[in-house]
Structure 1
Amino acid sequence: SDHVDLDAAIARGITVAEVTFSNSVSVAEHVVMMILSLVRNYLPSHQVVLEGGWRIADCVERAYDLEGMQVGTVAAGRIGLAVLRRLAPFDVALHYTDRHRLPREVEEELKLTFHPTAAEMVPQCDVVTVNAPLHPETEGLFGEELLGTMKRGAYLINTARARIADRDAVVRALRSGRLAGYAGDVWFPQPAPADHPWRSMPHQGMTPHISGSTLSAQARYAAGTREILESWFDERPIREEYLITDGTGLAGAGAHAYSVNASDT
């Protein structure tokens, strides 16, 4: 829905719905996989096997336990909260920032620390995962300034939108050691050209844009699309999880994740 002009849709009374709710589990699992692969130095170790080697010292020189680390998410919506729930059993200290604070019972259940802004949370974390939509407030958020406040040797995972992170600033942070690793599946542009610097930068765990495209998720996409269309044609309410706008303003998931220009509504 970040490809849709939501202000224009609301002004014209257009309902916007999406089925990204269908991939929340898929993306959350991908995030946890990427965190572990970076922290445990999995990809370089696997490469040693592919090359016929056995350099154990080289494999473990950048490998750590996730247990005990400070891990934070930028945004704790459907995907961000799913990530937090999956990380809790690793005995990490969990942090989050979001424009909407989670219910107290959820914070207590997961032992979450809330931070009003990303700028306040990021310096506290060993691992930061980005699970926010792309909009004017998040575009370029992880630029030179915010990256410079991260712990030296921290990890950044971004499966949200590539333009939330400054492409060249990420490369510089990896080369300088400010970041110990960067992983994600979102690129700008997409498909990424062969010479995209994120393909060759050090200590990265990039994949094509696949985190939400498992076969399991695709079945949910199909079912969700059918449900939305049947609800629309039958003049039944569309489930809140699928709604971005309802023709009069932000609604459902959209009310949590997005903002619009008040003058247009």
Structure 2
Amino acid sequence: MKVLIVLYSGGQAAQEQPRLLGTTENKLGIFDWLKGLGHDVVVTDDKEGPNSEFQKHIVDAEILVTTPFHPGYLTADLIDKAKNLKLCVTAGVGSDHVDLNAANKRKITVAEVSGSNVVSVAEHVVMTMLCLVRNFVPAHEQIINHKWNVAQIARDAYDLEGKVVGTIGCGRIGYRVLQRLEPFNCKELLWFDYNDIPAEAAKAISAKRVDTLDELLSRCDVITVNCPLHESTRGLINADAIKKMKKGVWIVNTARGAICDRKAIVEALESGYIAGYGGDVWDVQPAPPDHPWRDMRGPNGNGNAMTPHYSGTTLDAQARYAAGTKEIIENYLNGKPQNPANVIVENGEYATKAYGQRK
């Protein structure tokens, strides 16, 4: 069978660091294994447009592997063309790059490596909060530009202690963020989700659940987005939602860029209504050079803590999602059932409630 693997190219970094498994050079560590089994394996970073290697090979691939960091966007029209496609594997977490409804119609299984990135992303969320609240980025830029103006930085620097922090989505990542915030002595830790969190997770945090999203938006000094992207969350943080927030709120988004409205974020930051926006996810990936989130700043030249999408692809996370990808493919090849925690859609049905409130 044909296995199509879409990854980003790591160049010299991937050549020097073989643990960069999520690259075209190191091929998730599964290329030789699949070739040894006699399969036709195509690995590429070329994913954009009708003439791309991705669109060329998807027509007869049986297995597609891609990542959230350099996603091959599998739209409904491409699924129609992919007559042999049976399994889509996300090497990582987050399968919104696949049209899940179209996959269900074709009874294509979509699976991801659940839990592979949860610690990595939770740590990145807390790091980004601190960068924004402490006004770290402009302070660092001063130093590398051979300048020194403490007052210019301190005018927008605060403590995380005593602040109200809330998460939109309290799944595997969201509750770990709250857990890591416990030692900071925040005034309150809040969460909103339509799903309950596991009992063992609830015991690990002192956070309070709020009944509505509007309540969370209105009470928080810091808001972190930790929910999947689906029909109900696309554009969730828009101009109307921002108006319900406190003036001077900081927003951290490591979930999916399209959950936050591009224009609304820029306008709110540049006007000074929000104090900062940070994260590593973009509404198009890779983000084009002219994406406004690259250059947006608050009135004092602060408030931008954006990075490339790397929170969930530390070397530790790459080892986990590479091993998980191999396990999913191995189960498929051997006719074994998948780990239920990894399955998004299967046999024409949603196997998880993470992608919207479904019956």
Give the TM-score normalised by structure 2. 0.68
Q: Is the alpha carbon distance of 1:193 and 1:103 closer, same or farther for their aligned partners in structure 2, counting shifts above 3 Å?
A: closer
Matched letter for residue 222 of structure 1: A
Q: Say whether 1:222 aligns with 2:322.
A: yes
Q: Say whether 1:24 aligns with 2:118.
A: yes
Counterpart position of 1:130: 225
Counterpart position of 1:63: 157
How far off its partner does 1:140 sit?
0.8
SS of the equivalent of 2:321 reads: helix
Q: 1:113-128 to 2 correspondence within 5 Å?
A: 113-128=208-223
Give the TM-score normalised by structure 1. 0.91
Q: Is the alpha carbon distance of 1:104 and 1:225 closer, same or farther for their aligned partners in structure 2, counting shifts above 3 Å?
A: closer
Q: 1:17-166 to 2 correspondence within 5 Å?
A: 17-19=111-113, 21-92=115-186, 93-103=188-198, 106-107=201-202, 109-166=204-261
> Aligned pairs, how many?
259
Matched letter for residue 235 of structure 1: G
Q: Which runs of 5+ in 2 are unaligned?
A: 1-94, 298-302
Counterpart position of 2:99: 5
Q: 1:173-252 to 2 correspondence within 5 Å?
A: 173-202=268-297, 203-251=303-351
Q: Which runs of 5+ in 1 are unaligned?
A: none
Matched letter for residue 3 of structure 1: H
Contact 1:77–1:256 (CA under 8 A) maintained in structure 2: no
Counterpart position of 1:257: 354
- Residue-by-residue CA offset, 1:232-258 (whole Å, 9 max, x unaligned): 23333322331112325222xxx2311
Q: Is the alpha carbon distance of 1:217 and 1:258 closer, same or farther for their aligned partners in structure 2, counting shifts above 3 Å?
A: same
SS of the equivalent of 2:306 reads: coil
Determine the C-alpha separation between the residues in 1 that align with 2:243 and 2:226.
20
Determine the C-alpha separation between the residues in 2 that align with 1:240 and 1:89.
34
Determine the C-alpha separation between the residues in 1 that align with 2:357 and 2:135.
41
Q: Is the alpha carbon distance of 1:120 and 1:249 closer, same or farther for their aligned partners in structure 2, counting shifts above 3 Å?
A: same
Which of structure 1's runs of 4+ aligned residues deviate more than 6 A? none
Of residues 63-72 and 113-122 in structure 1, the stretch that sits farther from structure 2 once superposed is 113-122
Counterpart position of 2:81: none
Determine the C-alpha separation between the residues in 1 that align with 2:117 and 2:204.
24
SS of the equivalent of 1:141 reads: coil
Percent identity of paired positions between Structure 1 and Structure 2: 50
Of residues 133-142 and 108-117 in structure 1, the stretch that sits farther from structure 2 once superposed is 108-117
Q: Is the alpha carbon distance of 1:91 and 1:162 closer, same or farther for their aligned partners in structure 2, counting shifts above 3 Å?
A: same
SS of the equivalent of 1:94 reads: strand
How far off its partner does 1:161 sit?
1.2
How far off its partner does 1:7 sit?
2.5
- Residue-by-residue CA offset, 1:119-160 (whole Å, 9 max, x unaligned): 221111000011111111111111110001111111001111
Determine the C-alpha separation between the residues in 2 that align with 1:24 and 1:240.
17
Matched letter for residue 268 of structure 2: A
SS of the equivalent of 1:16 reads: strand
- Residue-by-residue CA offset, 1:177-219 (whole Å, 9 max, x unaligned): 2100000111122222222111111121111111111111111
Determine the C-alpha separation between the residues in 2 that align with 1:261 and 1:122.
24
Contact 1:134–1:160 (CA under 8 A) maintained in structure 2: yes
Contact 1:7–1:260 (CA under 8 A) maintained in structure 2: no
Of residues 85-94 and 235-244 in structure 1, the stretch that sits farther from structure 2 once superposed is 235-244
Contact 1:228–1:238 (CA under 8 A) maintained in structure 2: yes
- Residue-by-residue CA offset, 1:162-183 (whole Å, 9 max, x unaligned): 1111111111111222100000
Contact 1:150–1:178 (CA under 8 A) maintained in structure 2: no
Greater fraction helix:
1
RMSD: 1.8
Q: Is the alpha carbon distance of 1:21 and 1:108 closer, same or farther for their aligned partners in structure 2, counting shifts above 3 Å?
A: closer
Matched letter for residue 213 of structure 1: T
Determine the C-alpha separation between the residues in 2 that align with 1:6 and 1:188.
18
Matched letter for residue 258 of structure 1: Y
How far off its partner does 1:103 sit?
4.3
Determine the C-alpha separation between the residues in 2 that align with 1:260 and 1:6.
14
Q: Is the alpha carbon distance of 1:31 and 1:261 closer, same or farther for their aligned partners in structure 2, counting shifts above 3 Å?
A: closer
Matched letter for residue 250 of structure 1: Y
How far off its partner does 1:261 sit?
7.3
Higher gyration radius (CA): 2
